[in-house]
A = this chain, B = another copy of it.
Amino acid sequence: MSLKGTLTEIVENVAGGRAVVIMASDGIPIDQVVVDEGSFDLQLLSVEYATLLGDIRRAVELLKVGEMEEVSTTSGDMCVVLRVLSQELFVILVMDRDASLGKGRYLLRLKSYELARMLL
């Protein structure tokens, strides 16, 4: 399956899935599939999460609790799951506030090997 195909499979299999983006750690987007951009700015979100990942990685390194694998955030309007693919690449899944965060995390973990194989 193509990269676009795998990304589509992820976002379409979570009820409330809105977008999925592969990003480089420096904030450059590699590929994305948007189902419902709605009222949020996906480009800004991706760049902000790339910066946050850097912050969290520094904290996790300081705490000596192993390599960073996943971050999820819930705010009033949406859930976001970020999964690390490599030192340089990560994937972000954006979902509605009421979506199943557990299902999103599961799908992203399941597909991360496939995504990593295509990209690394």
Contacts and interface: CB of A to CB of B under 8 A. Distances in A.
Chain A: interface size category: 20 to 34
Contacts of A64: 39-40
A72 B104 CA distance: 13
A71 B69 CA distance: 14
A68 interface: yes
> What's the number of copies of this chain in the assembled complex?
2
Interface string A27-68: 000000000000111001100110110011001101111111
Contact of A41 (B44, B63, B71): B63
Interface string A63-100: 11111111111111110000000000000000001000
A72 B45 CA distance: 18
A5 interface: no
